[in-house]
Structure 1
Amino acid sequence: MKHLTLFFSLFLLLLSNGIEAQNSINFSEESLPKLLERSKKENKPIFLMIYAEWCPHCNKMKKEVFNTAEVADFMEKNFICAWQDVEKENGDFIKKKFDVKSYPTFVFLDKNETLLYNLSGEYKTDALIQEAKNALNPKMQLPYLEQQFLNDPSNVDKCLAYILTLGKGKERKQISIPAHKYLATQKEQDLVSDKNWKVIANAVTDIESREFQYVLKNQPAFEKLTSPLRVERKINSMVSESLKPFTENLDTIQYFKNRKIAKTISLHKTDSLIFMFDVTLAERTQNWNLYKKTTAESVEKYYWNDSRMLKEIGQTYLKNIATIPDLNNALKWTERAITLEPSYDGYLLTAQLYHKAKDNKQAIVYAQKAKDFSESMGWNPTDAKKLLLKLGVK
């Protein structure tokens, strides 16, 4: 009887392990050459996930998407599934080969290493399966869509089909090449159309390009065609895409070169966006002279009515700047923030700035206001009390 019980226990354990295996994708960690060999033998395309362990979107998909029977069954039936951690062996090679800019990135390859389809970002179960089905459809694969477009580069539908699919896994700059090939076939007066706007909105990245300059000169016409908000978003995205990479990489030479071009747009919204990139770059490079100059010239022009931003800039002054005339500028901004929206952190910050500027009389006034405000809200004003004690007030 004991042997029989043991037999059934082992049987159930093996069965449960088998069920568990079927409920998650068995990702291979083989090298790309070995995957291509398997692809030829098994006559299946490759589904390759490129990820990083620290990526929250990657980990979420591993936990919530790849551990479902629906995804596991479909993907393993139709693909050789593999993944590559970019921080492990071969990771750098794979990252460069497929020009990976974000995680997770998914590439679908045939046995000859031809890129059939690409994706980037987090996908839910149903969406991933649908995209995988697209990757299996010859008429939705990138080589087919590219050839259809090249055969008829003046056809807007073929252009859109290609760039929108390519854009699922590639940056806008990469899809701008075929987009401009199509747009070159269009007269300026023909650009104001629904489909041409879609091409411009999804693929144009060059501020100085004929197409974007035409949008700026004829903004009301495009706003009527789509909406003022969408046109504004496109204009702002052009500035962001032009400046953000160099802000992140601290490439000041290229940043100021592109900034000069971005400033030619000459709109209040874009100028305020450029200001934010300016202060971000100055802060990240710890160029406090540039930070002081930039904020002194532009805070009141662009963020005089933004309490949060005024306090954020004031905090940077508190931490990094000691000259009293500059601290007085910061005090003007934090006092404005309190006028717009009274707050404990606003009063406390102003008190701290006055203390740093060696005006303890005003520091006491604002520290007491911070304490009173906090107590009126039922909070414990610990930092305000500490500052008051430091200032000699018990």
Structure 2
Amino acid sequence: MKIKLSFIFTLLALVLVANLSAQNKIQFDESGYQSVLQRSKKEHKPIFYMLYATWCAHCNKMKSEVFTDTLVVNFINKNFIPAWQDAEKGEGDFFKKKFGIRFYPTFLFLNEDGKELYNTSGEFKSDTFVSEAKNALVKEKQLVYLEQEFLADVSNSDKCLAYLSALNKGRDRTLLSPIAQQYLATQSESQLVSNTNWKIIANGVTDIQSREFQYVLTHQAAFEAVASPKRVQRKIENIVTELLTLPVEFRDTIDYTKKRMIAETIHTRKNDSLLFDFDIRIAEKTMNWKKYKAITQKSTDEFALKDAKTLKDIASNYLKHIADTASLKYAIRWTQQALTLSDTYDIQILLAKLYQKNKDYKEALEWANKAKAKNESLGWKTKDADDLLVELSQKQTSK
């Protein structure tokens, strides 16, 4: 009997320890969206979903430091059904499309019907994260409530802005546009220039050709007066960037050409410089070096002569992918200009290699030696210079 009682007490102790251990960490559900919804309905608790990527340092830090903190563990376990999803696997695409996720980590708070209550993204300290998560439990801060309030009076600028502000946390801005347009349709052009309307335009308008954005372009000074020149300029840059980023990332040259024609209707030097940057990016991504040459030789002097990094990047692509003598002379000149802006070992090596590729071995040797001397004087490694000097020595020997 004593043996049996001892066994029972041991078993109970093990169960107790296991339960305490489970309570001291967040048990993230990985069974999938529909399964988590069913749990939520059964347990009558809202859902906390983390969307992460394995390569994301911020995600990994949240997992290892914040979600092991007792303050966070107790709050999440008490108030939510916790779940997570690798955004690049399985149901990741579903989440990205449904909730407009752009950044990692993103934290979604959903009700038992899968409607979004609250969202936020980024890396937090434990106390700040709990403060954010508490917002998901406050009716007046929940998206469901803010949406109902807005739809009850779409001409109310404060309700529109409150709803947009709650939505606009690392989300694809195109999902906000229909909300902003619903409100802005109630405003005449003469009413658009106000501080609140500017905020709604800045947060929710994504269509360059829309009435509201075109009005900003033609009345820029008026909007600068209610916001600031810097904010208005940033909006102009952002709307072009948002328009062109996806076709560049997906290497879609047809869509890029169509959207670029829209973007180039903004006639400012800043916008022309932005288009130059996108033009060279898509030519590089599609490995269209003929196009790349044409763009850079036409516009680098106009838009990049004061930017050492851009000059270096362009010249590096010439070194790797372009061989004709005339083009290499452009790259050499741009690298020399980069050196006047930033006299570094890397740029000196780049210049030496460009001279080598252009068969000017005397200049190549001179710049390789300069690079070696620079790093030696600082006590830094000189391997690239040493390797290049060996190659150049062999070239001279073979003559």
Task: Tell me the amino acid that sits aligned with residue 374 of structure 2.
Answer: F
Aligned to 2:135: 134
Is there any run of 5+ residues in structure 2 with no aligned partner, and where?
A: none
Q: TM-score, normalised by structure 2?
A: 0.88
Determine the C-alpha separation between the residues in 2 that align with 1:147 and 1:135. 16
Change (3 A) 1:96 1:209: closer
Q: Match of 1:118?
A: 119
TM-superposed deviation, 1:282: 0.8
- Does 2:149 align with 1:159? no
User: Structure 1, unaligned stretches of length 5 or more?
Assistant: none
**Cα distance change on mapping 1:382 and 1:19 into 2, 3 Å:** same
Write the distance in 2 (CA, Å) between the matches of 1:237 and 1:27.
36
Letter in 2 for 1:320: H
Would you say 1:280 and 2:281 are equivalent positions?
A: yes
Paired residue type of 1:251: D
Partner of 1:247: 248
Partner Cα distance (1:192, 1:365) in 2: 60
Q: 1:361 to 1:112 in 2, by over 3 A?
A: closer
Distance of aligned partners of 1:34 and 1:368 in 2 relative to their CA distance in 1, 3 Å threshold: closer
Q: Tell me which residue corresponds to 1:228.
A: 229
Aligned-pair Cα RMSD in Å:
2.7
Distance in 2 separating the partners of 1:339 and 1:95: 45
8 Å CA contact 2:110, 2:117 repeated in 1? yes
Counterparts in 2 of 1:69 and 1:285: CA distance versus 1, 3 Å: same
Name the CA distance, whole Å, in 2 between partners of 1:176 and 1:334.
43
* Aligned equivalent of 2:151: 150
1:61 corresponds to which residue? 62
In 2: Cα distance, 1:355 partner to 1:117 partner: 58
Q: How does 1:41-190 map to 2 (within 5 A)?
A: 41-86=42-87, 89-168=90-169, 170-190=171-191
**Deviation of the 1:182 alpha carbon:** 0.8
Q: Secondary structure at the match of 2:323?
A: coil
Partner-residue secondary structure (3-state), 2:222: helix
Do the aligned partners of 1:86 and 1:95 also contact (CA within 8 Å) in 2? yes
Question: Once the two structures are superposed, what CA deviation does each residue of 1:263-309 show, in whole Å capped at 9, x if it has no partner?
Answer: 11122222212111111111111100011011101111011122222
Measure, in 1, the Cα distance between the counterparts of 2:379 and 2:36. 63
1:345 is aligned to 2:349: no
What SS class does the counterpart of residue 127 from structure 1 fall into? helix
**1:102–1:345 Cα change, 3 Å:** closer
Q: Please give the alpha-carbon distance, in whole angstroms, between the structure 2 residues aligned to 1:64 and 1:46.
A: 21
**1:136-163 deviations in Å (ceiling 9; x for gaps):** 1222222221121111111110001111
Is the CA contact (8 Å cut-off) linking 2:335 and 2:350 kept in structure 1?
A: yes
Matches within 5 A, 1:233-312: 233-312=234-313
Question: For 1:270 and 1:19, how far apart are their aligned partners in 2?
Answer: 59
Partners in 1 of 2:115 and 2:41 — Cα distance? Answer: 13
Q: Which whole-Å CA distance do the structure 2 matches of 1:15 and 1:257 have between them?
A: 65
Alignment map for 1:365-380 (pairs within 5 Å) = 365-380=366-381
Summarize the Cα distance change of 1:356–1:160 in structure 2 as closer, same or farther, 3 Å threshold: same
Q: Which moved more, 1:67-76 or 1:370-379?
A: 370-379
The alignment's TM-score, normalised by the length of structure 1, stands at 0.89
Task: Indicate if the aligned counterparts of 1:311 and 1:333 stay in contact, CA closer than 8 A.
Answer: yes
Distance in 2 between the 1:364 and 1:332 partners? 17
Q: What letter corresponds to residue 342 of structure 1 in structure 2?
A: D
C-alpha change, 1:334 and 1:93, in structure 2 (3 Å) is closer
The answer to whether the 8 Å contact 1:22/1:69 transfers is no
Q: Could you give the per-residue CA deviations for residues 163-197 of structure 1, whole angstroms, max 9, x where no partner exists?
A: 11122263111011110111111222222211111
Give secondary structure in 2 for the equivalent of 1:265. coil
Cα distance change, pair 59–389 in 1 and its aligned pair in 2 (3 A): closer
Residue of structure 2 in register with 1:39 after alignment:
40
Aligned residue type for 1:26: Q
Query: Which secondary structure state, in structure 1, belongs to the residue aligned with residue 25 of structure 2?
Result: coil
Partner of 1:186: helix, strand, or coil?
coil
Counterpart CA distance in 1 for 2:93 and 2:220 is 43
Cα distance in 1 between the residues matched to 2:51 and 2:286: 31
How far is the alpha carbon of 1:250 from its aligned partner?
Answer: 0.5
Structure 1 residue 197 corresponds to structure 2 residue 198 = yes
The DSSP-based 3-state class of the residue aligned with 2:281 is helix
Give the residue type in structure 2 aligned to 1:339. T
Give SS of 2:107's match. Answer: strand
Amino acid across the alignment from 1:75: I
Residue pair 2:202, 2:235 contacting (<8 A) in 1 also: yes
Q: 158-167 or 121-130: which moved more? A: 121-130
Cα 1:21/1:345, change in 2 over 3 Å: same
Does the aligned pair in 2 maintain the 1:118–1:166 contact within 8 Å?
yes
Q: Is it true that 1:317 corresponds to 2:292 in the alignment?
A: no
Other structure's SS at 2:264 match: helix
Sequence identity of aligned pairs in percent?
52
Residue in 1 that maps onto 2:213: 212
Measure, in 2, the Cα distance between the counterparts of 1:40 and 1:347: 65
Letter of the structure 1 residue corresponding to residue 85 of structure 2: Q
Verify the 8 A CA contact 1:50 1:103 in the aligned structure 2: yes
Measure, in 2, the Cα distance between the counterparts of 1:94 and 1:388: 54
Moved more, 146-155 or 215-224: 215-224
Contact 2:100 2:175 in 1 (8 A): no
Question: Contact 2:103–2:170 at 8 Å: present in 1 too?
Answer: no
Native 8 Å contact 1:348 1:370 kept in 2? yes
Distance 2:76 2:260 in 1: 45
